A and B are shown apart, each in its own frame.
Chain A
Amino acid sequence: MTNPNQLTIAAARDALRKGELSAVDLTMSCLTAMDAGDDLNAFVHKTPDIALTQARAADVRLKAGGAPDLCGIPLGIKDLFCTKGVASQAASHILAGFKPEYESTVTTKLFDAGAVMLGKLNMDEFAMGSSNETSCYGDVINPWKIDDRKLTPGGSSGGSAAAVAADLCLGATGTDTGGSIRQPAAFTGITGIKPTYGRVSRWGIVAFASSLDQAGPMTKSVRDAAIFLGAMCGYDAKDSTSANIPVPDFEAALTGDIRGKKIGIPKEYRMDGMPAEIEALWQNGIAMMKDAGAVIVDISLPHTKYALPAYYVIAPAEASSNLARYDGVRYGHRAKLAAGDGITEMYEKTRAEGFGPEVQRRIMVGTYVLSAGFYDAYYNRARKVRALIKRDFERVFDAGIDAILTPATPSSAFGLGEMASADPVEMYLNDVFTVTVNLAGLPGVAVPVGLDAKGLPLGLQLIGRPWDEAGLLNHAYVLEQAAGFVAKPAKWW
């Protein structure tokens, strides 16, 4: 017997509409699972009262008929989203005690569609990290376990990934600046899509790197991603980069037919020292697409190698500017001051106490690359390289490629603490396959495809044309059906 919290969004939606399940019962099932999942440290601010109020309202709407897809569906919300009256800290001490007076556009849309918020989810501080080890709330633990070690769920949307993989909720919001939806999705055996830049409003989401940030859903299936994404998208006048274009019916696009579609395989993604298992997984994925009738085409994206260094100039530069607002004046933490301390001491002490080491490092890197004398050498050069990376993709799509298939991550989940003594740059290499997509503003989706020899999930990534999330999700759906990935982590928590 499946417990309601183990359902997919699609199955729960159908059961709710048929009256076989109530939103309150479904929500209670998730709240129970959430409380039993405390060892994972995924939920950091629980909102059971809000959840039950929303679930009761959803039941009324469902009874009346014509309720939206997400009506009565219990979700987890990444701590990066501002939720009115509910702690929204971006997993940082500097936002301790912050309770927004407003609701982000994404959560407003979800709640308008009848979705239920179970609580706020752990993440890397300000979404800066690839292992969820930089959070002020402590590490998130991956529900997948193969020995005595605790494994990372990936980052920065590690709480979202762990909560979905462990069935604490039916789906969760994530955000992705360099891979923060796709890498944790791959590490936990779930689906995660980063939409085209401008597809989802950034209003009310704590900013990290504004030209790269994009929110998206993390779910148990591709169909769920299509349903959930549809509810998040749409034009928003409050985000000046929001695209004023129609949102297609993503679920209706899941035909499973990709015959004649051209799938590009970029040779530059075959990295030196890439584990044989990742290469084998990639080859399996290629064979699956071919079996489905797609045409496989070898392509070249020549500037791929420069994506990570360009990203680690641009993202910290934007972060140093965005995070200047945390000054101890308008919200969050203010340091205790000594006698005679002036406003400069207040800023410096507040920011030293409030920001963790990785965030401080990135702010300082950003400050450096934007400082007089280095702006051209680093920041402008990185923006030129970014233009070249985008041009690589444009040329490939202009040549008729419909989607690009790559590995999602260079490895499966690693142990928490195993990278502690590593150089910060080594951690950055986790994003090697995902970061190009953010730099080019494209949609990308991670789909679980298999287990490695250790028994941990591995995913592949599909990259789509701008604004073609519908086509991209259909390709992902074909991959999902062919791979038949159904493994779940054995419950130990």
Chain B
Amino acid sequence: MSIDTATARKVAKLARIRVEEADLPKLAEQLSGILGFMEQLNEVDVTGIEPMVSVTPMRLARRADVVSDGNIQAQILANAPDAREGFFAVPKVVE
């Protein structure tokens, strides 16, 4: 599977990482190399094998559906690059 520049552009967009136009060919080449390495997996007979969900045979534990903490607004906002009036602030969102 070879990745072309258009696919690299699309993947960067999906990942929300800005990649300059000039850098796309090199990115495409590196992604192709990595995906080419993964092609080996096609040699394996996986007939009848279920994809692994959990590496240890365990059920995910459930917990009681109750509030365990709260009233920590200042702590939650403490690391925000931009917090105003008790909220996270972001640029205007217009769709």
Contacts and interface: CB of A to CB of B under 8 A. Distances in A.
Chain A contact-residue range equals: 35 or more
A33 B26 CA distance: 43
A313 B41 contact: yes
5 contacts: A237-B61, A240-B61, A381-B41, A383-B52, A441-B55
A346 interface: yes
Interface stretch (A8-16, A226-234, A358-366, A485-493): A358-366
Contacts of B17: 348, 351-352, 355, 360, 363-364
Contact of A388 (B15, B16, B19, B46): B46
Interface stretch (A182-190, A335-343, A457-465): A335-343
Interface string A408-431: 000000000000000111001000
Interface of B is mostly: loop
B90 A343 contact: yes
Contacts of B60: 240-241
B79 interface: yes
A177 interface: no
Interface stretch (A140-148, A166-174, A303-311): A303-311
Interface in A315-337: 320, 324, 327-334, 337
Nearest to A379: B51
A349 B41 contact: no
A378 interface: yes
A50 interface: no
Question: What is the predominant secondary structure among interface residues of chain A facing chain B?
Answer: helix
Q: Which of B16, B58, B78, B91 has the most CB of A within 10 A?
A: B16
Interface in B36-81: 37-44, 46, 49-56, 58, 60-61, 63, 72, 75-76, 78-81
A98 interface: yes
A342 B94 contact: yes
Contact of B56 (A198, A334, A361): A198
Given A371-B11, A384-B46, 18 more contacts: A306-B44, A308-B37, A329-B88, A330-B80, A343-B93, A348-B17, A352-B18, A360-B15, A360-B17, A364-B12, A368-B3, A368-B7, A378-B38, A382-B41, A388-B49, A428-B37, A441-B55, A441-B56
B92 interface: yes
Nearest to A349: B18
A344 B16 contact: yes
A312 B37 contact: yes
Contacts of A309: 37-41
Contacts of A386: 51-52
A328 B93 contact: no
Contacts of A327: 16
A65 B49 CA distance: 55
A333 B79 CA distance: 10
Given A240-B61, A305-B40, A365-B35, A330 B27 contact: no
| Nearest 10 pairs of A and B residues by beta carbon | A383-B51, A441-B55, A334-B81, A331-B79, A348-B18, A352-B18, A384-B46, A101-B75, A347-B16, A367-B15
A109 interface: no
